[in-house]
Chains A and B, each alone.
Chain A
């Protein structure tokens, strides 16, 4: 713990009282930076490893407190205009913004600081709850293993939500301190995987096989995006993948939703959410039924 305590991680957000990110009540630590660029990403502010300036337009009261910026990034014309190319992310504007319309996403926190927050809800974790590291891709940061180890030393159950596209060494180091991997399976078709996430799924599937071989407990998390992976072949492949694993304990369907859309605006990007990507009730049920039949719990 002592060696780990001062290791820093770049945290995007910490959310308490979560119940859909692993068993029981959990605290979720969202870490910044992801190797994938999924077309349907709902946490775009967590893609970039660097800190970023977020602007919540509807909270802005045009008070001008942000004019304290030494590089004149902020201007008020017909609206609040941000010249992001000039921004050095010094954070001065966010510090002065009274309504928190301006925020810096990405806080370099020491393991012990993060742990202090996680421990706050220890009374609520019970037998099943604990901490979930998410993001972004938590295993993209080398300090993640330190955080996991520190949690386990405190008797806190750990889960990692991963896209699987991670350095093998980092994964292997994390396995002993991770009670459950929530392993994203975006698409079993590699061409489409490349097209929609920017990378091949080969490393992801190899890592999964290796983690399974080492006895790591996993649960598959399958995003379902209309017009992308709503075909029978993909469903069958997921079931086949599940059958090939020994320590995997079920597969969940995560239907695409458009709630992440407004988050693009925070970064000054166009909302790229696509209502057409939302799967229909029938599509969801078909996939869900197939997974619950073919990927039974092995407890």
Chain B
């Protein structure tokens, strides 16, 4: 049994044969494919369904799911509970009426798993019962009642698993599931089971939550038991490995566009706690062991690094990154935390940060989050430059830049108008009241303070409600602006009007000038202050505009930078750029340079990125770095990786996803997918199993690897 490695190194073997077999089985789509047989439960037989309120319909759907979804206990599994309905894998609540799904799923949040293992479902029920009393007779009663209904359904589902484990004679599994997740976990094994079972329930209902800080949550149990001798590190590793393997149960293989392993189930390890003390512990290293051995692409894991992070941790992280797969990413937590404080979070809350299951940071278990992706290159080309129709002309760079800012402002104004129209009901004594929204009680149970407020996750229930406008097309926008500044206003190689005509013509008959634009300027990503400072200025102005929207609705607005692979859809529709790009050519990902323009290596790229005031973007900006396997071999390669991580953190980086991949290997995988089933690559905030990307996505990944981006 081999787990894919791109650097030629064999992954170590620490787990027992049975666990490795289970991992292989899960990665070979066995459980994912089973869900195709049971896509959803059917609500058609429920009497009076048409007359029900949306919340009643929702409760009925959850009930039906808990009663009717197949119960699956896998051979050899140590933790139980499975999300066995196929529609959940496409982000729907898997219950249909008249053949169509009734409600969508919820994602981009991390549920309060820390709360689950400390207060248990019983604790949540006690809060829900109190809420029901408190809100009786108000418009919030229905939500409070729905919480009780969902918990009742949860109990049914839990009992079905207990019955099945008993029937199969799996006494250990049965005993371990008896108390949790209802009671607070009393052991490491119970804690893992408790988190998994709750996670599986949320996924069963079509939601895709992130996990949060797994090592921090589990360590108190681990320490107590290893000290008493009740648990060995080896046993703990096995249990934890089953958590990771169960996390692959939605892998289906086949051609899925953006891959079959992308369900926003990111988890976070290491970093400091609420008091600023480093939490890195034995469980951190056990998690790294498991990722290193199995190369499992779910759960993508992000390591919170800081300037004082232990050398041992950095080396271990580098060792795991070297095998490829892009499973590990890193935060520079000082920048993240200082950004969150600037945004108004108390420091103790900021220090709790995890992510939304992708890389956007949030306080786990307390945050409503959604991001709004925008293509800023399109905005520049279409709105500011009027698609090069010749109707605008600018006399200076600042004039051009200011016009662009006005267009950004208009975009954000439209966003705010939409939110006030569609989400907010009124502002009563300075407190915003939300409009009724789609029911989502299951996820609301695990988000503070939905129960306390009597409001769902989508209706202002969480403590923090964040909307994040994201800049996409950052590098191409910056490069376009920079090239115009240089060619038109500084070097005067061409007038604005002439350049507009040339770009309208897609550089036809202007090859010499295009070559000049391509070769004679150093664009974003090359550590050229002139270009990088345009980027800094743009991000800073954008961030301020986002902050300016705070207080004008019930949401906080925090800017971010992302494309999440959307550049693939955008590129055919974007016009020529002053930086020499022709219509249809490759565009940049996230906050990374445009492929092919970064000539000065990974350190220059990181420096360009870090020149931005990233702490003004409290949600984040992602930098992708592609490294050749040969760059990472041997002690030299390991040291180089450690140096990159260290430098990234000390320069104030926010989030970096390094991937070790080789265009040659990826091309071979395209030809012989059967030989590369487990090969995963970092795409953008998640890592996809390469062979399950469709051809366009595969080609994009190869192109980005070939064009440099950090070699």
A98-B513, A124-B643, A124-B647 are known contacts. Are A17 and B520 too (CB-CB below 8 A)? Answer: no
A293 at the interface (CB under 8 A from B): no
Q: Does B54 contact A (CB under 8 A)?
A: no
Does the CB pair A99–B515 fall under 8 Å? Answer: yes
Does B383 reach chain A (CB closer than 8 Å)?
Answer: no
Give bound CA distance, A15 to B602, whole Å: 11
Of the stretches A18-26, A178-186, A235-243, the one at the interface is A18-26
Q: Does A44 contact B (CB under 8 A)?
A: no
Nearest chain B CB to A125 CB, angstrom units: 7
Across the interface, do B644 and A124 meet the contact criterion of CB distance under 8 Å?
yes
* Given known A-B contacts A16-B604, A17-B604, A61 and B639 have beta carbons under 8 A apart: no
Chain A 43-76, CB-CB to B under 8 Å as 1, else 0, gives 0000000000000000101010100000000000
For residue B170, CB closer than 8 A to chain A, the reply is no
Query: Which residue of the partner chain A has the closest CB to B314?
Result: A126
CA distance A100 to B511 in the complex (A): 13
A98/B643 in contact, CB under 8 A: no
In the complex the two chains form, is B512's CB within 8 Å of A65's CB? yes
The interface residues of chain B lying within 8 Å CB-to-CB of A15 are: 601
Complex-state Cα separation, A99 to B602, whole angstroms? 24
Contacts of B513 in A (CB 8 A): 98
Residue-wise, chain A 1-28 has the 8 Å CB interface mask toward B (1 for contact) of 0000000000000011101100111000
A33 to chain B, nearest CB (A): 25
> Shortest distance in angstroms between A217's beta carbon and chain B's nearest beta carbon?
17
A-side interface size class: 20 to 34
Chain B: CB-nearest residue to A129: B643
- Determine the residue in chain B with the shortest Cβ distance to A65: B512
A120 and B520 contacting across the interface, CB-CB below 8 Å: no
Q: How far is the CA of A98 from the CA of B515 in the complex (A)?
A: 5
Assess whether B131 is interfacial by the CB under 8 Å rule.
no
List the A residue with the shortest CB-CB distance to B527: A120
Q: Is A128 an interface residue (CB 8 A)?
A: yes
Within 8 Å CB of A121, what residues of B?
603, 607, 647
Tell me the bound Cα distance from A128 to B631 in angstroms: 17
B646–A124 touching, CB < 8 Å: yes
What is the bound-complex CA distance between A129 and B640, given in angstroms? 9
Which residues A253-290 have CB closer than 8 A to chain B?
none
Cα distance, A24 to B318, chains bound together (Å): 14
Interface flag for B171 (CB, 8 Å): no
Given A17-B601, A19-B631, A19-B637: A61 in contact with B644 (beta carbons within 8 A): no
Q: Given A24-B639, A61-B511: A16 and B600 within 8 A (CB)?
A: yes
Q: Is A19 touching B636 in the complex (CB atoms < 8 A)?
A: yes
Residue of A nearest to B632 (CB): A19
Most buried by A among B527, B602, B604, B647: B647
Task: List B416-460 residues whose CB lies under 8 Å from chain A.
Answer: none
Asked if B642 CB lies within 8 Å of chain A CBs, one says yes
Q: How far is the CA of A65 from the CA of B515 in the complex (A)?
A: 12
CA distance A123 to B606 in the complex (A): 11
Nearest A residue to B651 via CB reads: A123
The residue in chain B whose Cβ has the minimal distance to the Cβ of A63 is B512
Pairwise interchain contact B519-A20, C-beta atoms closer than 8 A:
no
Q: Which residue of B lies closest to A64 (CB)?
A: B512
Residues of A within 8 A of B603 (CB): 16-17, 25, 120-121, 124
Q: Decide if A126 touches B520 in the complex (CB within 8 Å).
A: no
Instruction: Report whether B601 and A98 are in contact in the complex, using a CB–CB cutoff of 8 Å.
Output: no
B512 vs chain A, min Cβ distance (A):
4
- Whether A63 and B643, one on each chain, are in contact in the complex, defined by CB atoms closer than 8 angstroms, is no
Q: How far is the CA of A99 from the CA of B606 in the complex (A)?
A: 26
8 A Cβ contacts from A134-170 to B: none
Would you call B650 an interface residue if the criterion is a C-beta within 8 Å of the partner chain's C-beta atoms? yes
Mask: chain B, 593-618; 1 = CB below 8 Å from A; 0 = not:
00000001111101100000000000
Contact status A24-B643, CB under 8 Å: yes
B516 contacts A by Cβ under 8 Å = yes
B644 close to A120 (CB less than 8 A): no
> In the assembled complex, how far is the CB of residue B647 from the closest CB belonging to chain A, in whole angstroms?
4
CB proximity of A178 to chain B, nearest CB, Å: 20
Chain B residue nearest to A27 in the complex (CB) = B603
Q: Are the C-beta atoms of A25 and B512 separated by less than 8 Å?
A: no
Distance of B638 from chain A, by nearest CB (Å):
10
Whether the pair A98, B651 counts as a contact (CB closer than 8 A) is no
- Binary CB contact string for chain A from 103 to 132 against chain B (1 if under 8 A, 0 otherwise): 000000000000000001101111011000
When C-beta atoms are compared, the residue in chain A nearest to B514 turns out to be: A98
Q: B512, A98: Cβ atoms under 8 Å? A: yes
Given A16-B601, A16-B603, A16-B604, the answer on whether A99 and B519 have CB atoms closer than 8 Å is yes
What residues on B are CB-neighbors of A124 within 8 Å? 603, 606, 643-644, 646-647
Contact B604 A63 (CB under 8 A): no
- On chain B, the residues within 8 Å of A24 by CB distance are 639-640, 643
Q: Chain B's nearest CB lies how many Å from the CB of A288? A: 13
The answer for the CA separation of A212 and B602 in the assembled complex, in Å, is: 36
Query: Which chain B residues numbered 639 to 660 have a C-beta less than 8 Å away from chain A?
Result: 639-640, 642-644, 646-647, 650-651
Beta-carbon contact of B643 and A125 below 8 Å: yes
Which of B512, B514, B520, B607 is packed against the most chain A CB atoms within 10 Å?
B512
- The one of B514, B518, B600, B647 in contact with A123, judged by C-beta atoms closer than 8 angstroms, is B647
Chain A residues within an 8 Å CB radius of B601: 15-17
List B contacts of A120 (CB < 8 A).
527, 603-604, 607
Q: Which residues of A contact B (CB under 8 A)?
A: 15-17, 19-20, 23-25, 59, 61, 63, 65, 98-100, 120-121, 123-126, 128-129
20 contacts between A and B (CB under 8 A): A16-B604, A17-B600, A17-B603, A19-B631, A19-B636, A24-B639, A25-B643, A61-B511, A61-B515, A65-B512, A100-B519, A100-B520, A121-B647, A123-B646, A123-B650, A123-B651, A125-B643, A126-B639, A129-B639, A129-B643
- Contacts A63-B512, A99-B515 aside, 5 further interface pairs with beta carbons under 8 A come to A25-B639, A25-B647, A98-B520, A124-B606, A125-B643
8 nearest A-B pairs in the assembled complex, by CB-CB distance: A17-B601, A124-B647, A98-B516, A99-B515, A98-B515, A63-B512, A25-B643, A123-B647
